[in-house]
Amino acid sequence: MSTTEHDLITNFTELTGHAPEGIWSAPGRVNLIGEHTDYNEGFVLPFAIDRRTRAAVGLRADGTIRVTSTFDDTSVQFELAALDAARAAGEITGWSAYPLGVAWALGQHGADLSRVSGVDILIDSTVPVGAGLSSSAAIESSVALALNDLWSLGFTREKLAKVGQLAENEVVGAPTGIMDQSASLLGATDSAVFLDCRSLDAEVVPLGLAKAELSILVMDTRVSHSHATGGYSERRAACEAGAAAMGASSLRDVNVTDLDRAKELLDDVSYRRVRHVVTENQRVLDTVRALNDEGPLAIGALLDASHVSMRDDFEISIPELDLAVETARDNGAIGARMTGGGFGGAAIALVPHALVTTVETAVHAAFAAAGFTAPVTFTVTPSRGAERTSGTATKK
Ligand code: ADP
Ligand code: MG
């Protein structure tokens, strides 16, 4: 369970013999809409959530980086100047690849790791691992922001998002995009982050959930998904092939008005893969416009349409996700969709505050009746992005 900030400082002090310079915290994220659009250079609309990872960080007199997590209470350490060689030799493994990868990636972006001060980092998190809430980006972003401050690097948050992605791609070895880090670093209270994955331009879009008395309910199916399995890379390949057949460098350049031509050029399966991405990009744009012009009550149909598109065209849903979405809708959600890469993971529903318990109860009952593993349901609140939460008196 979560430790208080005071406990984290106490634990850090016991571990290192001195108080931390500060605590930096960064949230996990949920993607409101825009699925499998990131690697097609399209649009996504994630938001930062009220589950956070905190990194207590203190400076050392030497050039060592030592990382410890309350996750398993183990510590891993390297000389900062030797991180690149350790990475090349495949010596950075397990969870420490996330924080150590960030330090390495800061070096790749220009930090001089042979001159910066060593650090002790103690990580504590309330972001559940593997539930599709990006506990990985939460670690990366908290550590990136901390080191950026303590090493006086002056990198922008956009650059720190790239640092997190580089760590995840090159040190952890996961071929992920930049959405998660952008949401974690750029999120704001009751807002989503509208991200153009081609230009990397990001814009904070107010959600207005509080005023509309709406909650976002996460329904975790507990069916585990893995990027390593074939489905994800198959879909990526289908998108690349579809774009090439259309004479486009990516599906970002294919519009809804091009779909008739796509239907003539492509076989049925390829056409449906392309149609999902093309219509999903449009749905993200429509969602942003609806939020700006009409407020969150107007986006339910777009969430529903996104789910249908993933279920029927992209074929990445599973019966558990479909059941969660349908049951939520039948019990008062104004919109619902699976979220994340698919083949498992969680669905989200936009639910009036007063109906959250009704929807949760109905989803649990429906899963029991279907003989599925009991889901885990909880609400998330769109929240602030990464920030320094303690020790702000320290020089920047
Ligand atoms: P997610 O969807 O939660 O981001 P990932 O597989 O991308 O799933 O990242 C989860 C991994 O991140 C964990 O297996 C672990 O290596 C690391 N991780 C997450 N939270 C922590 C933590 N509190 N302490 C140490 N490592 C963590
Ligand atoms: Mg992750």
Q: Write down all domains in the chain, each with its CATH number in brackets.
A: 5-204 (3.30.230.10), 208-380 (3.30.70.890)
* 391 has pLDDT over 90: no
The pLDDT tens digits for 203-213 are 999 999 999 99
- Give the distance (Å) from ligand 1 centre to CA of residue 163: 17
Retrieve residue 329's tokens: 């809708």
Residue 1 is predicted with a pLDDT of 43
* φ, ψ for residue 59, nearest 5 deg: -80, 150
Q: What is the mean pLDDT of residues 286-291?
A: 98
* 154 has pLDDT over 80: yes
Nearest CA to ligand 1 atom 26: 95
Burial of 359-383, coded b for 16+ CB within 10 Å and e otherwise, reads bbebbbebbeeeebeebebbbbebb
DSSP state of 112: -
| CA diameter of the chain | 69
Q: Residue 288: which pLDDT band, with cuts at 50, 70 and 90?
A: very high
The pLDDT tens digits for 289-346 are 999 999 999 999 999 999 999 999 999 999 999 999 999 999 999 999 999 889 999 9
Neighbours of 111 (CB within 10 A): 21
* 84 has pLDDT over 70: yes
**Cα torsion for 305, 307, 308, 309, to the nearest 10°?**
90
Residues 6+ apart with CB under 8 A from 116: 63, 80, 147, 151
Whole-number percent of the chain with pLDDT over 70: 97
Nearest CA to ligand 1 atom 7: 136
Q: What is the mean pLDDT of residues 82-101?
A: 97
Q: Residue 156: which pLDDT band, with cuts at 50, 70 and 90?
A: very high
Q: What is the mean pLDDT of residues 275-299?
A: 98
Retrieve residue 5's tokens: 């900030």
The pLDDT tens digits for 354-377 are 999 999 999 999 999 999 999 999
- Give the distance (Å) from ligand 2 centre to CA of residue 261: 36
* 394 has pLDDT over 50: no
- Give the distance (Å) from ligand 2 centre to CA of residue 136: 4
- Work out the mean pLDDT of the chain and round it to a whole number: 95
ipTM over 0.95: yes
* 253 has pLDDT over 80: yes
Q: Does the beta carbon of 271 lie inside 6 Å of ligand 1?
A: no
DSSP state of 229: S
Q: What is the mean pLDDT of residues 155-163?
A: 97
38 flagged as catalytic: no
Q: What is the mean pLDDT of residues 51-79?
A: 96
pTM, full prediction: 0.94
Retrieve residue 168's tokens: 């995840």
Residues 6+ apart with CB under 8 A from 88: none
Residue 71 is predicted with a pLDDT of 84
Q: Residue 395: which pLDDT band, with cuts at 50, 70 and 90?
A: very low
Q: Residue 131: which pLDDT band, with cuts at 50, 70 and 90?
A: confident
Q: 131, 152, 156, 144: which is closest to 49 by C-alpha?
A: 131
Q: Residue 396: which pLDDT band, with cuts at 50, 70 and 90?
A: very low
Q: Which residue has the higher pLDDT, 73 or 211?
A: 211
Retrieve residue 286's tokens: 């429509």
Distances in Å between the Cα of 47 and the Cα atoms of 181, 183, 196, 333, 388 are 11, 6, 14, 19, 19
Retrieve residue 389's tokens: 């939460």
* 392 has pLDDT over 80: no
Selecting among 180, 220, 304, 313, the annotated active-site residue is: 180
Whole-number percent of the chain with pLDDT over 90: 90
Residue 2 is predicted with a pLDDT of 55
* 277 has pLDDT over 90: yes
Residue 97 CA, closest ligand 1 atom number: 16
* 86 has pLDDT over 50: yes
Q: Does the beta carbon of 378 lie inside 6 Å of ligand 1?
A: no
